[in-house]
């Protein structure tokens, strides 16, 4: 589940697994006027965790663990854009959801892996962004 927080105080919940919702939001994210209203993005995940059964003591997947990762729009930057995507599982990659934030010459990527309470955050100075795949 993805939440997009806008400057007018609204929070939009998006399920990228739903093709209709994903298409609608990718169209919105293509628009520069909408990008300017984004105040932050949150990834909300729920994972089953192992626990011991109180009756027999065996280990099993028992309860859901909720995790939320949030990225605030940085201040004092000239340009800022957000890209979100669902990453499909394929053998080596476990899949999940990825948020990429470009702010001036820095790229921040947050990947929340599906089915496990793990994430990866990457930050790199990439230089001025000259190509944006969202814009046609």
Question: Residue 136 pLDDT more than 60?
Answer: no
CA distance 125 to 110: 15
pLDDT digits (tens, 9 = 90+) for 68-107: 889 999 988 888 889 888 888 887 877 888 999 999 899 9
The predicted model scores a pTM of: 0.76
pLDDT confidence of residue 60: 67
Listed residue (33, 18, 2, 17) closest to 87, CA to CA: 17
CA angle at residue 132 from 19 to 71, to 5 degrees? 70
Contact 64, 47 (CB under 8 A): yes
Average pLDDT, the chain: 83
């Amino acid at each position: 589940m993805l939440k997009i927080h806008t400057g007018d105080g609204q929070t939009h919940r998006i399920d990228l697994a739903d093709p209709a919702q994903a298409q609608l939001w990718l169209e919105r994210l293509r628009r520069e006027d909408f990008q300017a209203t984004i105040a932050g993005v949150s990834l909300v995940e729920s994972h089953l965790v192992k626990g011991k059964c109180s009756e027999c003591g065996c280990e099993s997947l028992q309860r859901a663990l909720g995790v939320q990762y949030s990225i605030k729009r940085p201040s004092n930057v000239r340009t800022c854009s957000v890209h979100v995507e669902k990453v499909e599982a394929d053998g080596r990659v476990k899949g999940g959801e990825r948020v990429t934030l470009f702010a001036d010459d820095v790229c921040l990527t947050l990947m929340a892996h599906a089915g496990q309470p793990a994430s990866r955050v990457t930050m790199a100075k990439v230089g001025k962004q000259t190509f944006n795949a969202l814009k046609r």
